[in-house]
Amino acid sequence: MAQEQKIGPGGIGVQNAGSFNTIIVGVGPAKLELDPMQKRRAKPNDERELLLTELRATKLVGRDEDLAALRAWLDGPMPIAVQCRTGRAGIGKTRLAIELCERAEAAGWTAGFARADELQRSFDAQNLTAWRWSQPTLVVVDYAAAFARILRAWLEVLARPDGEKPKLRLLLLERHADAKLGWWADLTRPGGLSGRGPDSLIDPAEPVPMHSLYAVEHRRALLANAIAEAARVLEKPAPTLPAPGTNPEFDRRLAENALGNEPLYLVMAGRIAIDTGAPEALALRPGELARLVAGAEENRLRRLAASWNIPAELILHLAACVTLEGGCTRDAVRTLIDAERQALDYPGPPPSVKIAKRLADALPSADGVDAVQPDLIGEAFVLTTIDDNWRSPTEQAAIVERAWRRAGVRVVTTVIRTVQDHAGNDPKHTSLLWFDHLTGLTDDLLSSMRILGELPELTIALRVRLESVYQRASLRSRSIAEAA
């Protein structure tokens, strides 16, 4: 049952009293729907839920300084402030933001995550200036690079003095942000001579990088917590961590910064340790762990497909396509299912609407079907699913292209992150073939520059491709100028 709260003249905040699905902040047509992920803490019931960030299956460790700095930012004197936090996949950006939302809400703020679909539809040029909030509000934007132009337009409006308002904080999360190139440079460039620009709202001026868990005791505590939760969910005995000093190799790996030791890596290791033991799990690289956990997700979906009497290969393929697209709404997933069944020649029962409902049961989201989460595991799942069954590079490219034609830049984003997380310096990695195919689909300048804006910190393989995309964009720009 929905519960309404007045939060300003003409505006309401709506919060689902049972499942806390959304909070709506705004007035008239200019409403932003926030996802209060901080409300979803719960004990995981299965393997998939072990890795869902919003459930917070493990305790937060080693982030006291980060949280203190963010609380000081909330309490700072600026009426409106924007901050960017950056870090590698699995380092804990989203988890940190959820914890901040929880603390802000306890202090009387409205807080939550702005979902992708909401950002795309809520703030068009006609209603940006109408958006209002009447109590302190924290908005978190994950994967901020994908929404740089929307955010730029929003900040241009927010930068204009418009009377006294409660505090507003925008926390942007992304893997990489560069002051000279790409989305962050675009977002923070100074305004014109007509007044203050978005740059006046940025606090601090530079993105704040998140670091891996430095302290070995924090790493050990998180790994032990992850093992205990995995053992509870799987109903298996929990292996004991070697005591400090009893296994030098294990101690060395736990202390080795080359492993990254991001929280996600340690949580994945905790899951795999149930089957292998902790020292063996910690000996695996992050990519290897991701593939093993993705394999467990594949097995789960196979078991579900058998119980539904639906071909497992079809369910896996559809889940991979949904993950490529970053998740689908109810309408979008039905379109996807119809298109992929036709392309793969899977006619007959059951009807697509039934398959859509089953997928939504297996990978639930608030408005449709979710991607396989978190990113690192979803990417591994896409790689092993699409690059399977003896599919040729041409067949794989066709699958990725169909996804791109349905979901556009979201697919480019997924492919780029897959390159970053799994390709290493392999110039012939499958994900690079997909990237090359996508960048070759259009000579349109806007599309090319959009791809450039999505590029995070570059691997060697992507540096070479960046030069090629940039050259094509430059040639196209010159052609347009000469034709004008």
Q: SS3 string of the chain? A: CEEEEEEECCEEEEEECCCCCCEEEEECCEEEEEECHHHHCCCCCCHHHHCCHHHCCCCCCCCHHHHHHHHHHHHCCCCEEEEEEECCCCCCHHHHHHHHHHHHHHCCCEEEEECHHHHHHHCCCCCHHHCCCCCCEEEEECCHHHHHHHHHHHHHHHCCCCCCCCCEEEEEEECCCCCCCCHHHHHHCCCCCCCCCHHHHECCCCCEECCCCCCHHHHHHHHHHHHHHHHHHHCCCCCCCCCCCCCHHHHHHHHCHHHCCCHHHHHHHHHHHHHHCHHHHHCCCHHHHHHHHHHHHHHHHHHHHHHHCCCHHHHHHHHHHHHHCCCEEHHHHHHHHHHHHHHHCCCCCCCHHHHHHHHHHHCEECCEECCCCCHHHHHHHHHHHHCCCCCCHHHHHHHHHHHHHHHCHHHHHHHHHHHHHHHCCCCCCHHHHHHHHHHCCCCCHHHHHHHHHHCCCCCHHHHHHHHHHHHHHHHHHHHHHHHC
Task: Kindly state the percentage of the chain with pLDDT values over 90.
Answer: 49
Predicted local distance difference test score (pLDDT) of residue 346: 85
pLDDT exceeds cutoff 80 at 72: yes
Confidence of residue 446 (pLDDT cuts 50, 70, 90): low
Q: Residue 230 is part of which domain span?
A: 216-284
Asked if residue 396 and residue 377 are part of one domain, the reply reads: no
Asked if residue 179 and residue 232 are part of one domain, the reply reads: no
Confidence of residue 390 (pLDDT cuts 50, 70, 90): confident
24 vs 392, higher pLDDT? 392
* Domain stop point among 267, 284, 301: 284
Confidence of residue 425 (pLDDT cuts 50, 70, 90): confident
What is the rounded average pLDDT of the residues 394-416?
A: 92
Asked if residue 140 and residue 99 are part of one domain, the reply reads: yes
* Domain stop point among 182, 209, 236: 209
CATH value at residue 115 = 3.40.50
Asked if residue 339 and residue 243 are part of one domain, the reply reads: no
Asked if residue 113 and residue 53 are part of one domain, the reply reads: yes
Predicted local distance difference test score (pLDDT) of residue 461: 64
Predicted local distance difference test score (pLDDT) of residue 200: 92
Predicted local distance difference test score (pLDDT) of residue 127: 60
pLDDT exceeds cutoff 70 at 389: no
What is the overall mean pLDDT for the chain? 84
Predicted local distance difference test score (pLDDT) of residue 441: 83
Task: Kindly state the percentage of the chain with pLDDT values over 70.
Answer: 81
Asked if residue 359 and residue 423 are part of one domain, the reply reads: no
Asked if residue 296 and residue 377 are part of one domain, the reply reads: yes
Look at 75-84, 146-155, 314-323, 455-464 and tell me which has the smallest mean pLDDT. 455-464
What is the rounded average pLDDT of the residues 122-132?
A: 63
Asked if residue 473 and residue 405 are part of one domain, the reply reads: yes
Asked if residue 326 and residue 401 are part of one domain, the reply reads: no
28 vs 225, higher pLDDT? 225
What is the rounded average pLDDT of the residues 377-397?
A: 90
Asked if residue 169 and residue 66 are part of one domain, the reply reads: yes
Asked if residue 226 and residue 301 are part of one domain, the reply reads: no
Asked if residue 195 and residue 120 are part of one domain, the reply reads: yes
414 vs 194, higher pLDDT? 414
* Domain stop point among 260, 284, 308: 284
pLDDT exceeds cutoff 60 at 20: no
Confidence of residue 5 (pLDDT cuts 50, 70, 90): very low
What is the rounded average pLDDT of the residues 95-117?
A: 93
pLDDT exceeds cutoff 90 at 337: yes
Query: Where is mean pLDDT largest: 294-303, 443-452, 472-481?
Result: 294-303
How many structural domains is the chain composed of?
4
What is the rounded average pLDDT of the residues 230-246?
A: 93
